[in-house]
Structure 1
């Protein structure tokens, strides 16, 4: 798929088929995250892949929506602040780096015909308990991963002139 088509095609999927994700496709989306650029190439993130079968009640504690665990897999992107690059003024880039990795994963999934949904509004403490995440690792983002059962919706986005300002040189 051409990149422009890919970014237009990608949308938040909230309905999934029960069809399993092939191991080869899972490896490709995980590898896309691994290849994502990070500050000073530190790669301060970890990915936790969860098979949802038999874990729907546990996962409902993490995120309340029923569709969250309808996909055969859920992926948690975690931040490891102690491994990340920090700018001289003290600004740590772990959240940015983890978000870039997740975005690469999500775009790769779309390219392979898989659906995702970027989720940040989850219960972090429940995620720690359910996924047994150590204290030094922060659960930052989730996405279900599976074959969409819905159709692409219409995206509504602001016009460029609302988002971009050109600096006079």
Structure 2
């Protein structure tokens, strides 16, 4: 069981237990307010959020860099039109739990028969960026969307990990 803490949006501070109904899918996206690659992905992340929410799941945006406040996170959400819950993880509890290395990095979780979360995909949101500074006009592969769709249908995912491209998460010492 994973615990999500320090919800920053809508002025609420809560603790969330990452658990769900069998077959439900949740998405966690590690991000930062000042990573240009993560910010470029904001519209796609919002589209994924709406899709996951319509299927009965949740998408959590996790800010990972020290010094971020609830006000910073709310302003970022407002500036980029993000409506999902935002979590501030400056102590890297979630970063460490999922071994996240960059922003943006996505984790897709499917809940098994007893509601236990299982990671079915981790890595790139899509292929908008081949590498930092190497951006396509538009993404042609949508890895998180595909993983969510497969999870909802309880189908196998052909590739469960794709090395993410983005801003490096500096590890806590």
Larger Rg: 1
TM-score normalised by length of structure 2: 0.30
Higher relative contact order (CA 8 A, sep 6+): 1
- Relative to total residues, which structure has the larger strand share, 1 or 2? 2
TM-score normalised by length of structure 1: 0.30
- Relative to total residues, which structure has the larger helix share, 1 or 2? 1
